[in-house]
Amino acid sequence: MIAYIAPSSDGSAVPMWASLLMVVMGLALTVMVAYQIARSQAFRRGVPMPRDPAPPPAQPGEASRQPSAAPPGPAVARELEELCVRVADELDRRAERLEKLIAEADSKLARLERLTAGAVTPDPLAVLAETKPRAAAAPMHDGDPIAGEVYRLADSGLPPVQIAQKLGQHTGKVELILALRRA
């Protein structure tokens, strides 16, 4: 006779052996995961984990030449513990330094935000226009009186069309003179 566990909510019953099989499989999976975690941690620490049992020595005198596989003694454990303490102290110092640097950066950022809160950012085109060289840097016009007059009127702020009308010249000629000046 097959033993059954109490029926589930949908009315079907599960045999006892299926439940036990699931429990055993879950335990086996848990053991495998724990073993893999232990191996990876041992690998990170540099402690080799044996995969296969050591092969028997081929000759009787050969066994004394091989290093013993005895577990590490208390001295090694003490050294490892000291190393862990030193590493933890170093990590604490670095964390404190990072916290100080972050606090310093935050204070500098807050100061910068306070300083720029009331400041008006200038128009980049206006700044560029202020730094642009004026008529003093204008190229020589080789004694051409029209070019000199075009430069003077352009420096006073007149557009090329009005300069051409005042001087009785073609607009294209005035624009060419001004373009050559900028080049």
In the structure encoding, which two tokens stand for residue 38, read together? 């232990």
In the structure encoding, which two tokens stand for residue 163, read together? 């300069």
Distance of CA 57 to the CA centre of its chain: 54
pTM (two decimals):
0.29
Task: Give the span between the Cα atoms of 81 and 77, in whole angstroms.
Answer: 6
Residue 4 within any structural domain of the chain: no
* Residue bearing tokens 């232990």: 38
Residue 31 within any structural domain of the chain: yes
Task: Give the span between the Cα atoms of 92 and 100, in whole angstroms.
Answer: 12
User: Is it the case that residue 137 has pLDDT exceeding 50?
Assistant: no
Same domain, 88 and 113: yes
* 150 close to 126: Cβ distance less than 8 angstroms: no
Mean pLDDT check: name the lowest of 11-20, 55-64, 137-146: 55-64
Average pLDDT over residues 135-153: 73
Tens of pLDDT, residues 72-111? 677 788 888 888 888 888 888 988 999 999 999 999 999 9
Task: Give the span between the Cα atoms of 58 and 56, in whole angstroms.
Answer: 6
Main-chain phi, psi angles of 67, to 5 degrees: -65, 145
Residue 7 within any structural domain of the chain: no
Same domain, 150 and 114: no
pLDDT value, residue 18? 77
Residue 53 within any structural domain of the chain: no
Task: Give the span between the Cα atoms of 83 and 38, in whole angstroms.
Answer: 20
Residue 80 within any structural domain of the chain: yes
pLDDT value, residue 58? 59
> With bands split at pLDDT 50, 70 and 90, how would you rate the model's confidence at 144?
confident
Helix or strand holding residue 166 (H, E)? helix 160-167
**Structural domain containing residue 140:** 135-182
Q: How many domains does the chain have?
A: 3
As a whole-number percent, the residues of the chain with pLDDT over 70 amount to 64
Residue 9 within any structural domain of the chain: no
On the CB side of 32, how many CA atoms lie within 13 Å of its CA?
Answer: 6
Residue 146 within any structural domain of the chain: yes
Same domain, 143 and 113: no
User: Is it the case that residue 176 has pLDDT exceeding 60?
Assistant: yes
What are the distances in angstroms from CA 157 to CA 83, 136, 150?
78, 15, 11
Residue 69 within any structural domain of the chain: no
> With bands split at pLDDT 50, 70 and 90, how would you rate the model's confidence at 113?
confident
| Average pLDDT value over all residues in the chain | 77
